Every structure is written in structure tokens, then in C-alpha cells.
Amino acid sequence: QGGNNAGHTVVVDGKEYDFHLFPSGIINPKAISFIEERQRKSKSKSQKFDQSAQLKSYFPLYLLTGLKDWEKRLIISDRAHIVFDFHQAVDGLQEVQRQAQEGKNIGTTKKGIGPTYSSKAARTGLRICDLLSDFDEFSSRFKNLAQQYKSMFPTLEIDIEGQLKKLKGYAEKIRPMVRDGVYFMYEALHGSPKKILVEGANAALLDIDFGTYPFVTSSNCTVGGVCTGLGVPPQHVGDVYGVVKAYTTRVGIGAFPTEQINEIGDLLQSRGHEWGVTTGRKRRCGWLDLVILKYAHMINGFTALALTKLDILDVLDEIKIGVAYKLGGKRIPYFP
């Protein structure tokens, strides 16, 4: 599902949910939802979903009215990294710096995902297992991490003691939901037969390694993330479903060859209700880019495609599709 930088609008029985951290399967009372190793838990102040859904801040989780007993069917991996308030503050400061230095930013959601991955890669990150074990040790490491960021960003203000007090309270609330994620998945794969659906967030072209770098997210949102995020051996990956709209969209800046900055783009945006669920930003819209789609297939090996929003094109007399790229005047068979 990713961190709370990604949004999913889910409509079930006429009721609309905008999820940012919950797996979409949380709605199904018969399904167990598992937030896995690569995912981040934000302890930010509660976000507004939509006008109809009331919610309450609950560490990484959002309590929605009408969603009963979700705590009993949600499991959190002990290896999941924690996004702190200062990670989110730093995300915003970095965007300001990029704009000032380079005249453009990346267009992040400012949810602290990139800085948290930086902490993870620097081996200074803190995980759910750290929070739930020795709190004195956790506090010491938290203070060190906070001081590192304060030294890098002198204007950054962090209420260290206040944050630690909140975190200690959150720890006891989520403790019943936390499991050893690797063993949980092993049992799920080797125990009584189960249907296991892995839900990914963000598109293939936002993958940190294979996307339109640097205008990407901080994680692997291609199929390899199933193995590295969940600890699932590759031979257990079965069908891979690619989800693609009948036209192409993008939130934020970055390459977009088929973009339509005209009445066509406006029509797709308005008819398709193309707004970023997390940021509220308008999505950029354009014709379906088959080169991107083929590239995503090269990496993910789709066994099937789910084609969505075909009806948005119903009012158009003519539909165009991007079929090839030219580089230096020559047609190329790959995504450059």
C-alpha cells in the first residue's frame, strides 16, 4: 500500500472511502489486512478524508465510522519503519530548497516518505519493533536522529519530549496488532490454502529504480517490491495484474510525452475526476502511452491488464494513442 503519500478511492455499496494507509481489503470483514516491511507508519496529525467520513488520529491508523472491528483484522509488521513528524517537516524544507536552488522541485506529497527512506538507508531509521521493545533505547536513538536533522536544517523545530510522550502512548495501542511479518507471511503461504492478494501503491513509472527519475517515489512500487517488502520468495508470485487507465495521467512534474495541455486534457481531467487523493492537486492528463505500458510490462511481466475509465472517452469522436518514441530522429523500441 505504501506510506500515506498514496491515496486510493474505494467505493463499496455506494459508500466512498479514501484510503491513505489502510489496505483496501480492510473493508472486507472476511479478509486479514497486513501492512508489511516496506510500508511506513505516519504519526502525523489526522488527515481529512472526505466530508462524509469522520476519523480519528490513531498512530498509523485511521478509525472510520462505519468500519467495524477493523483492529481485529489488521496486522502490522514489526519491521515497518516509522515516519516521524520531523521527517514530514524536512520533506517540505527540501522541496523549498530544490525550488530555490534549481528553480523546480520534485513535487512530493510532503508526507516524509523520502526522508524516512534516507534514514533507513543510513541505518539510523527506527522501526515498529524498536518502538515496542526497549523504550529507553528507542528514546536515545530518536533523540540522536532528531539532532542529526536539526544540524542539517537549523530552522527545524522538534518537540522531542512531547513526541516521545505521544509515541509511548501509541506503542501500547498498536502492540496487539504487531506481528513478526516474515513468519506471518510464511504461515500464510504454507498453511491452509489461502488467497493472497498483494496491493501496490503508485505507478511503475514512479519506481525509484525504473521510474522517470528523479520525479519518482522513494520505493520499489514494481512487482519486485512483493519479494523485498513482504519477504515472499519469487516462486510464490503468481498472476500479476497491471492496472491502467484508458488514458494517461500524472500528478506532479516529470516527463509526459502524450500530455494534452488543451481542451482534451481539460475534458479528461473533469470527466475522469482526476484529482490527487492525497494532495488535492489536478492530475495532468493525456492520451494513452503504449510505450510506457510496454515498458511497465517488461519490468513486471503482467499476466493480465485491468483497463479502467474507458467510459471517460465515450464523448470523443477521435481517440489517439502514443505508439512509439523517436530519439534523434530514429524510432526506438525501448523506453529511454
The amino acid sitting at 234 is P
* 336 C-beta neighbours (distance < 10 Å), count: 8
Q: Give which of 297, 181, 185 is closest to 236, Cα–Cα.
A: 185
pLDDT in tens, 16-68: 887 777 788 888 889 999 887 544 443 333 333 222 222 233 333 444 446 78
Residues 110-120 have a mean pLDDT of 86
Query: What pLDDT, on a 0 to 100 scale, did the predictor assign at position 69?
Result: 86
pLDDT in tens, 131-152: 999 999 999 999 999 999 999 9
* 124 C-beta neighbours (distance < 10 Å), count: 13
Whole-angstrom Cα distance, residue 11 to residue 18?
9
Tell which wins on pLDDT, 230 or 110. 230
Q: Give which of 233, 202, 192, 226 is closest to 301, Cα–Cα.
A: 226
Query: What pLDDT, on a 0 to 100 scale, did the predictor assign at position 37?
Result: 55
Contact call for residues 115 and 136 (beta carbons, < 8 A): no
Average pLDDT score over the chain: 85
pLDDT in tens, 68-107: 888 889 999 999 999 999 998 988 888 877 777 777 776 7
Q: Give which of 77, 75, 37, 44 is closest to 60, Cα–Cα.
A: 44
Q: Of all residues in the chain, what percent are helix, strand and coil, respectively (each to 5)?
A: 35, 20, 45
Contact call for residues 196 and 98 (beta carbons, < 8 A): no
Query: What pLDDT, on a 0 to 100 scale, did the predictor assign at position 51?
Result: 24
To 5 degrees, how large is the angle CA 60–CA 89–CA 80? Answer: 35
pLDDT in tens, 171-220: 999 999 999 999 999 999 999 999 999 988 788 999 999 999 988 888 89
pLDDT band at 111 (very low <50, low <70, confident <90, very high): confident
pLDDT in tens, 275-302: 876 667 799 999 999 999 999 999 999 9
DSSP string for 243-292: EEESEEEESSSS--TTB--SHHHHHHHHHTT-B-TTT-PBPEEEEEEHHH
DSSP string for 161-193: HHHHHHHHHHHHHHGGGEE-HHHHHHHHHHSS-
Query: What pLDDT, on a 0 to 100 scale, did the predictor assign at position 48?
Result: 30
- CATH class of the domain at 1-44+66-201: mainly alpha
Query: What pLDDT, on a 0 to 100 scale, did the predictor assign at position 40?
Result: 41
Whole-angstrom Cα distance, residue 336 to residue 333?
9
Q: Phi/psi class of residue 263: alpha, beta or left (left: φ > 0; alpha: ψ in -120 to 50)? A: alpha
DSSP conformation class of 46? P
Residues 160-175 have a mean pLDDT of 94
Contact call for residues 56 and 63 (beta carbons, < 8 A): yes
pLDDT in tens, 249-275: 998 888 999 999 999 999 999 999 998
Question: H/E element holding 152?
Answer: helix 135-152
- CATH class of the domain at 239-332: alpha beta
* 308 C-beta neighbours (distance < 10 Å), count: 13
The domain limits of the chain are: 1-44+66-201, 239-332
Query: What pLDDT, on a 0 to 100 scale, did the predictor assign at position 49?
Result: 28
Distances (CA, A) of 120 to 81, 180, 210: 8, 19, 20
Question: H/E element holding 147?
Answer: helix 135-152
DSSP string for 82-133: EEPHHHHHHHHHHHHHHHHHHS------SSSHHHHHHHHHTT---BHHHHHS
Query: What pLDDT, on a 0 to 100 scale, did the predictor assign at position 57?
Result: 33
Q: Which residues are catalytic?
A: 120
